[in-house]
Structure 1
């Protein structure tokens, strides 16, 4: 008659299987959290751009949104600094060239909230976490309307 209980081998195999499952679930959870941070950051930038356009229309003053050229986790709305999560990097990918810092800003002019310079820009938000598809915030045409889309990996 065999005594009841587990052998050391059976116990180690069960622990190994449990460890693999916990690792897979943990990685998926971290990935989901980073994807949520990226979506939240894109929504924050888009909301601030829309708010800047609205302020230019209502307040009869020009409103500027600017960022650093090298890619960072912060930007400014009329001088007020805004921070993104530290895992998110903001870069301009289209219509970014200009003399001095003019390529690193969007200016909505009063009283209609139109873009100064009459061209839109594409801002790319990427995560430092590997494997996540970046998001793009597009400032479109003369009107300066804002669209959030998926970027290319």
Structure 2
């Protein structure tokens, strides 16, 4: 065997700069898609929270009208982000309750945006009223007060 010239192949350890850049690009794309999805999900949660808040208030005052034998009202202004809720005769004195940040009442029922539940049965003064809420990303949900019984339903438009 001679001293003639066999060359040993060196094995490569680590990653090349090109492989690192490709890996970072893929990671960046995945993070970008995830961020967009997370942002859209958060916007959906905010509008859902607002609709649930309004629906819960309406259901609560319906029950109070039945229990206390007093008329209770809910009132909101179109374009506003607060509402008033309480006994009808004291409604003007009530402080406004805020919706979650970024949510407004896009549309309220005719007649000043008021829904009144009448004692002693908790029926509504006027049937089929709808409050439309608009939140971040222009997401919209409707809160319906259905029929004269005052059942409250949240739906997409």
TM-score bracket for this pair, using the shorter chain length: 0.7 to 0.9
Q: Report the Cα distance in structure 2 between the residues aligned to 1:54 and 1:46, rounded to whole angstroms.
A: 13
**Structure with bigger gyration radius:** 2
Residue-by-residue CA offset, 1:68-113 (whole Å, 9 max, x unaligned): 12x23221112243222112222335xx33xxxx331111121221
Q: Report the Cα distance in structure 2 between the residues aligned to 1:106 and 1:41, rounded to whole angstroms.
A: 17
Residue 110 of structure 2 is aligned to residue 104 of structure 1: no
Q: How many residues are aligned here?
A: 141
Q: Which runs of 5+ in 2 are unaligned?
A: 1-9, 87-93
TM-score, length basis structure 1: 0.80
Residue-by-residue CA offset, 1:30-86 (whole Å, 9 max, x unaligned): 2222212222221111110011111111112111101112x2322111224322211
Q: Which runs of 4+ in 1 moved over 4 A?
A: none
Q: Report the Cα distance in structure 1 between the residues aligned to 2:35 and 2:107, rounded to whole angstroms.
A: 33
Query: What is the match of residue 46 of structure 2?
Result: 37
Report the 3-state secondary structure (helix = DSSP H, G, I; strand = E; otherwise coil) of the residue aligned with 1:107: strand
Residue 31 of structure 2 is aligned to residue 25 of structure 1: no
**Which residue of the other structure, out of 7, 22, 27, is the alignment partner of 1:13?**
22
Q: Report the Cα distance in structure 1 between the residues aligned to 2:57 and 2:145, rounded to whole angstroms.
A: 12
Instruction: Say what the alpha-carbon RMSD is for the aligned residues.
Output: 1.9
8 Å contact kept, 2:47–2:135:
yes
Query: What is the match of residue 85 of structure 1?
Result: 100
Cα gap change, 1:121 to 1:63, in 2 (>3 Å): same
Q: Report the Cα distance in structure 2 between the residues aligned to 1:126 and 1:58, rounded to whole angstroms.
A: 32
Which piece of structure 1 moves more, 5-14 or 36-45? 5-14
TM-score, length basis structure 2: 0.78
Q: Which runs of 5+ in 1 are unaligned?
A: none
Correspondence list, 1:1-153, <5 A: 1=10, 3-69=12-78, 71-78=79-86, 79-92=94-107, 96-97=109-110, 102-116=111-125, 118-129=126-137, 132=139, 134-151=140-157
Q: Report the Cα distance in structure 2 between the residues aligned to 1:52 and 1:103, rounded to whole angstroms.
A: 18
